[in-house]
Amino acid sequence: MRNLVLVLTLATLTLLAQSSSSHRITHTYTLGGDGSWDYIVPDPPHHRLFIARQTRVMVVDEDSGTLLGEVTGINGAHGTAIAESTGHGFATSGNDQSVVMFDLKTFKVLGRIPAAEDADAILFDGPSNRVFTLNGDAHSSTVIDPREGKLITNIPLGGKPEYGASAGDGKVYANLTDTSEVVEIDAKTATVARRWSTAPCKQPVSMAVDPAHHRLFSGCRSGLMAVSDYQTGKVVATLPIGTGVDGAGYDAASGNAYASNADGTLTVIHQDSPDQYHVAETIQTPTGSRNMGLDPTNHRVFIVSAKFGPVPAGGRRGTVLPGTFALMTIERDTASR
């Protein structure tokens, strides 16, 4: 009996060890360069990453960590949208309330489109063939024709938007951080269709979508992730995450949702069913790695961070030390796939 108990105990500990370490950082690439950063946007067909860096967008090869080029001439870089069918990319230039259109092959700037105050996140919606910015301080979304690179309209949202997602069915969703709501946009008519509360999840920031089950994942600064059924407009579950969340992702192949947090954690939430979830693991990451990108074709999660100088009086963190900015690849162990 003692030997049997010992065997069972060892087996249990082995399973726990496996389950607690199914993800790991497999590669670290030093990219260097000055300035802070914001959204990491994967380009799955070409296995590239578009990483916002204040005055530019860095374009990086996922497999080698090689810098392929940069989109320059940006004043307050935040998000990037990829309209593959038009050959154009779009980057928000938040400090001058505009969007920079660029060539996806050469990264050459092709034009500048007026947006609104605090143009931040940006996304492409395939069914409507439109680009949508999310303008924080302006409480609006700017709608852009991605082929012509022209402003179509601005949509009042009734709150301060952060990140959003296209559901692929003609609807675009965005978190409103100041009202703790999700807003639904009809992409074709460019109007707000619905809104609902993310309570008890407050200050929703990051967003990911599971179109197969009609679920949205909103990472909230209150330390929770809210899962919404976007057909009914209701929160069906909330899960604890780290603090300072700014990125989210959902991998349909594994059923895992991710929240990247500034406190140096990546929270992995597993979908047991469309309405049932549990925190599968918490991965330790460098402090400040609050943004993430997920490539659904190879299931890799990408985060970035850097080393910081001394924290000034009254500040949250020190300045980024030159040459320390790095990209990290997080993968699931083969045995756990």
pLDDT digit of tens for each residue in the chain (337 aa)?
444 444 344 444 434 443 456 899 999 999 999 888 999 999 999 999 999 999 999 999 999 999 999 999 999 999 999 999 999 999 999 999 999 999 999 999 999 999 999 999 999 999 999 999 999 999 999 999 999 999 999 999 999 999 999 999 999 999 999 999 999 999 999 999 999 999 999 999 999 999 999 999 999 999 999 999 999 999 999 999 999 999 999 999 999 999 999 999 999 999 999 999 999 999 999 999 999 999 999 999 999 999 988 888 877 777 888 899 999 999 998 655 5
Q: What is the CB neighbour count within 10 angstroms for residue 34?
A: 13
Helix (H, G, I), strand (E, B) or coil at 96: helix
3-state secondary structure of 216: strand
Q: Position of tokens 């069918």?
A: 85
205 Cβ contact list (under 8 Å, min separation 6): 162, 163, 175, 177, 218, 219, 220, 221, 245, 246
- Is 242 within 8 Å of 265 (Cβ atoms)? yes
CA dist., res. 25 & res. 331, Å (int): 7
Q: Tell me the three state secondary structure of residue 15.
A: helix
CA dist., res. 15 & res. 193, Å (int)? 46
Residues 6+ apart with CB under 8 A from 101: 88, 89, 90, 109, 110, 111, 112, 113, 149
What is the pLDDT at residue 333? 84
Cβ contacts of 325 within 8 Å, gap of 6 or more: 30, 31, 32, 33, 37, 53, 304, 305, 306
pLDDT for 335:
58
Distance (Å, whole) CA 216 – CA 172: 11
Listed by start position, the domains of the chain span 73-197
* Domain 73-197 part of CATH 2.60.120.10: no
How crowded is residue 316: how many other Cβ atoms within 10 Å of its Cβ? Answer: 10
State both tokens at 265: 């954690």
Question: Distance between CA atoms of 163 and 136, rounded to whole angstroms?
Answer: 10
CB 147 within 8 Å of CB 193: no
pLDDT at position 294: 98
For the whole model, what pTM was predicted?
0.91
* Alpha-carbon span 143 to 27, nearest angstrom: 37
Q: What is the pLDDT of residue 12?
A: 44
3-state secondary structure of 336: helix
CB 317 within 8 A of CB 308: yes
